[in-house]
Every structure is written in structure tokens, then in C-alpha cells.
A and B are shown apart, each in its own frame.
Chain A
């Protein structure tokens, strides 16, 4: 079995940024394994603009953003393998991959970074009655068909879910000549950006129905229509509000799930709220030397944050390879009063005090709140926010001194103060 210092699973923005940072931290024995035929991950199909404002101070499209990081990796001569699918990662850090070129290969790694992104929640996960014929696609699959393969999956379209992917696809399908008759959203608010609601729906007079869902799909071999209904406060469909919208295509944009099959094989502990691993501030999981970053860890809406997080993972993986011993004593960060989750999930009670960023999401829309960090119940950081929403990841950075206080505390809590639900 070949030995390798650092194996990175996934060549999307997370894997690329981790590789670049690991190289810059002095590591030369790196291998990126990517199952697709090119590097760049999901960005290759995200041809719209809106990427990179934080990192490059300009608005790039997905492929342009990916190209910048691909160039960084190629300029450093970092090794990568395409069409190579990782099928197993073991607790003892043996990575197994298959590729047409190499067959089945096992590698013994010193450290592994899981950067395998997320997948879309499939239809099975949301439970709609009705036919199983053609014409039901996940929004991401439709995006790939239109943008990469140049194939329009339908002409009369209804979209379920108003997250950014659903909104972007409403515009994209309209651009390609399809007619989008409705976007249907279960919640009373959209998790998508206002900008996308305005520029992807309002610009083309596409109606957005809040507090509605699809209850039935009509048609035999191909979708002929969907039945939508309003839902009550408990999100249950109200029978008397049912109505049929004729269409030949239903796109599902009902959320993303971190892709953690490999992590499970490696006995990595997963979080119930994020679906990703439980990690410390070094992005290391409970398995020594196994790290996670990017969408496999928690779903990000901005790729810039994926890159920053992943660079940190790359750097920390090199520290681990170079023999910095993992800390065993950890504090679990508790999220309360409307804060749904925070990454990192745990803090090492060590004496390494450096500025640290925390990323979190809230569970509901709250106005005029203060996002606060408490050490042993005492506020050490607070940030006033006019509005926070589940669709926007919050990002705070603590100073080295604040980190010292946190790491020495018995309890660490992230909370919302004076929250009033909209």
C-alpha cells in the first residue's frame, strides 16, 4: 500500500483551497481525488454571477471562481486524480478509490481532508404523492442538464422550494425559453437572497406562493400537472385550497444534505443539526487526522466562506502531520435561544489562543437581536443585527484574548438576546 501524507477527497472549491493552503504550509506530499472529469465541483454548473465578492472583491461566475483556485493548484504542481471515486475511508486512515485508469487502489494516509460537498435532498425525502413518471427533477440536476449538457428538461415548469438554487433555476429555465408558472414555498418566507427573488422571479413576473406545497403530481408517463395547496401553521395542507397547475416539469429545490457516507465509514461523529461532522476549531473530527471542510461539513451559501474555512483545514492538517498532538479535553459549544448550530462544534481546552471565526445559522427570522458569545454565562462578545434569517449564515470573529477566555471557561454558549419572532 502506498503511503501518502495528505489525501483530499473532492476537488471542488473546498478541496482546492485546502490543497493550496497545505502546500503553502510546507506540505508537498498531497493528493486530491475527484470523481468527476474536471476539478471545480458544483461551481462548474453554477454559471450565474455572484461568487467571490469577499475573496476577490469582484463578482465572478462559478466557473471563473473555480478557475482561479484550479490555477493556484496547478501552479503549485499539486497532484490530483480525476475520474477517481473514493469508496471507503477507514478509521485507520486507509483511503480506497476506484478509477478506470488505476482500478481499485488503497492508500495509507497520515491525514485526510473530507471535502466531498453535499447532495440534493431527493424526492423520497419529502413525500409527495402521485405518479413516478418522467418530468420530476431536482433543481441541481436540471441545472446540470441545461448548463453543462445544453438540454432543456421541460417547457412548462413548476418549482417547489424557494432557496437560491430554485430561484436561479426559475430564471435559467425562462432564459432558455421555458415558462415557469409558479414557485411554491412551504414556509412563510424564502431562504433565498432578496436579490434572487427580485432578479430571478419579479423581473419575469413569476409568482411565488408562500405557505404552499405540492400535494399531488398528475400524469402517467410524463408529468401533466401538479396539485398545490396552502398549508396551515403546522405546515399541513388545507384541503379546500387545492388547485391544479398544468405543467410538464416539476423541479425540486428542497434543500441540501452533506454527503457523509465516507465519514460514517471512518466512524466520524456526525452532528444532528448540520448533518456534517462534529469538529473542533482546527476542523478536525473525533477521528485523529481526519478533517472536514466546505459543504460536507455544513451547507454554505457563499463559496468565499468555503474557501476560507478550507484553507484553515489545510493548514491544520499539516500541523497534525508535523506532529502537533491533538487535544483531548474539549468543551461543547451550546447553541441556545434560536441559534440552530455553530461551527466549530467543540473547542479544545488547550493553550493555543489565535483569532477564530465562528459560523452559525439561526432557526427563524428574528429582528433587532444581538448575537452573543457567553463564557461561563458572561457575555464576552456581542453583535447587534437588524435582522437574522435561516437563509443567511452568520459569521463572527473573536480575538486571541477572547479565545483565551473561552478556552478557559467551563461552559461556552452562543445565543440570541432580545429575539422577537417575525
Chain B
């Protein structure tokens, strides 16, 4: 199958046409430099994304604390990971780097806090 994508590695934003009929030999057109090929192949074989969000905190100076995945997680896990966040309420104090949800969906990556919230 052939599909269109935009390379995000630099402001050129090359429009790539990617043919992935043969998964072991993905063909990329429209790239200006080799990074476009690497990008397209990764997007097809194992797309990953950082996910950021916020969760409730009890007893803190503010009602919500921001969180992120420590690294990018498989794209297919985005919505499951967000569901997990909804089930969590933290207790202040919370510190940057505290684990909020461990091992999201078994992918080995944690959600961690990105803000300090002191207790009142």
C-alpha cells in the first residue's frame, strides 16, 4: 500500500510517498535527505509518541499536576495510557520525576510528574 506522510525532522517538511507493500523493503519517495527514509521506516514499523497530561492531586497548593511518559511509547497505547491517568489521584507533595503510573500497559515506560506540588 502507498501512503503520504510529512517528514518532521526539519523545517523543509518534505512530503513523502511511502510504499510499504513489502515490509522488509519499504520504498520512500519525496525525501530531500536520508533522514526522511529513516523517519518513514520508523513511522511504519514502530511509531512512538510522547504522551503528556495531568492528574488530580489531593492536599496540594494546586488541584492538578502535569505528567509525561518518561520516553515515547508505542502509538497504539496512547488512549489506553490516558485511561490509566484518569484512575489516578496523587497526594501532595509531588515532585518532578515521581512515578505516577508504572510500566504503562506493559511497555516498560512510566508516567512521571513534571511539576512540584507542595502540600498545604
Contact = CB atoms under 8 A, between A and B. Distances in A.
A144 to B, nearest CB: 11
Contacts of A197: 6
Given A194-B8, A386-B12, A49 B50 contact: yes
Interface in B61-120: 62-64, 66-68, 75, 78, 82, 96, 114-116
A42 to B, nearest CB: 13
Contact of A148 (B11, B32, B50, B62): B62
Contacts of B51: 175
A67 interface: yes
A24 to B, nearest CB: 24
Contact of B11 (A48, A61, A387): A387
Interface of B: 5-8, 11-13, 32, 49-54, 56, 62-64, 66-68, 75, 78, 82, 96, 114-116
A203 interface: yes
A150 B63 contact: yes
Given A149-B63, A198-B8, A64 B96 contact: yes
A64 B114 contact: yes
Given A61-B52, A147-B64, A47 B12 contact: no
Contacts of B54: 47, 146-148, 150
24 contacts: A47-B66, A47-B114, A60-B114, A61-B114, A62-B66, A63-B114, A63-B115, A64-B114, A64-B115, A147-B66, A148-B54, A148-B62, A148-B64, A150-B56, A175-B53, A175-B78, A194-B6, A194-B11, A198-B6, A198-B8, A202-B5, A202-B6, A203-B75, A392-B11
Which 9 pairs between the two chains have the least Cβ-Cβ distance? Answer: A47-B66, A63-B115, A194-B13, A195-B8, A61-B114, A150-B64, A64-B114, A194-B8, A63-B114
A149 B64 contact: yes
A47 B53 contact: yes
Nearest to A61: B114
Contacts of A199: 8, 49
B49 A61 contact: no
A194 B11 CA distance: 7
A268 to B, nearest CB: 33
Contacts, number: 71
A319 B106 CA distance: 56
Contact of A49 (B62, B68, B78): B68
B64 to A, nearest CB: 5
Nearest to B53: A175
Contacts of A195: 8
B96 A48 contact: no
A314 to B, nearest CB: 24
A126 to B, nearest CB: 27
Contacts of A262: none
Contacts of A44: 115
A322 B120 CA distance: 42
Contacts of B11: 194, 387, 389, 392
A392 B66 CA distance: 27
Nearest to A65: B114
Interface in A206-222: none
A67 B56 contact: no
A392 B96 CA distance: 30
Contact of A67 (B8, B62, B116): B116
A146 B12 CA distance: 33
Nearest to B4: A202
Given A47-B67, A194-B11, 19 more contacts: A38-B62, A47-B52, A47-B53, A47-B66, A49-B50, A60-B114, A64-B114, A67-B116, A146-B54, A147-B54, A147-B64, A148-B63, A148-B64, A175-B53, A175-B78, A193-B8, A194-B7, A194-B13, A202-B6
Interface string A187-200: 00000011101110
Nearest to A63: B115
B12 A48 contact: no
Given A47-B54, A150-B56, A61 B66 contact: yes
Nearest to A68: B96
Identify the interface centre among A59, A199, A389: most chain B CB within 10 Å of its CB.
A199
A202 B3 CA distance: 13
A49 B72 CA distance: 11
